[in-house]
Amino acid sequence: MTSNPGQDIAERKMQFLFHLRSKGVTDNRVLTAMEQIDRGPFIQGFFADRAYEDTPLPIPCGQTISQPSVVALMTQALNVQPRDKVLEVGTGSGYQAAILSQLGRRIYTVERHRELIRAARKIFEQQDLSNITAITGDGSFGLPEQAPFDKIIVTAAAEDPPGPLLSQLRVGGIMVVPVGQSDAVQSLIKVTRTDAGFDYEELRPVRFVPLLEGLGKDEYT
């Protein structure tokens, strides 16, 4: 008896969404975005057949694509609304930006490795994700020319929430950022800007690559 590829994919997606719910992802808009954006195209080569596994996987330039449950939980904490302008620091594979594109009005994503930006732009174009602007640059300084942002998400760990990014968050806005030393387990922090300053909420332990200043080495050659 031969298997039906379409049925297999549908079953894997159903299991994938069930797993996300079991991890605490309850926002239906986030679950719909996770269903609509296939992780497969963002993973190349040897690991492509592991796209539906809830595990981080290596991508070029020594970076990783985060596990789907962490992407979903960070997105849920960000609470992106349809009119929001969002900044992502650390494009990586482009998967997180693609998820955000289903939820917000305009997504700006900054990556220090030009190779990753080129690959991500190609996927965004193929999938007609026209509300994403992908930029090669030092994301630790944000994008002051586009500030303020309604939401900011950082996909690399900083020792503290970066000051330039906090200053580019509008009052009432939310930033989600992993905080901690790069060689230890970090904490995912939700920062909300208020009229009086910033409120901090610790969400869960995570492990991310460190947030580095400057461009990737390949950009100087």
What positions carry a catalytic annotation? Answer: 66
Residues 152, 64: Cα–Cα separation, whole Å: 20
CB environment 185-201: b (16+ within 10 A), e (fewer):
ebebbbbbbeeeeeeee
Distance from the Cα of residue 99 to its chain's centroid: 8
Tell me which amino acid residue 92 is. G
Angle at 102 between CA 51 and CA 167, to 5 degrees: 105
Q: Which ranges in 68-174 belong to alpha helices (H)?
A: 68-78, 95-101, 114-126, 163-167
Angle at 220 between CA 168 and CA 137, to 5 degrees: 15
Residues 139, 213: Cα–Cα separation, whole Å: 8
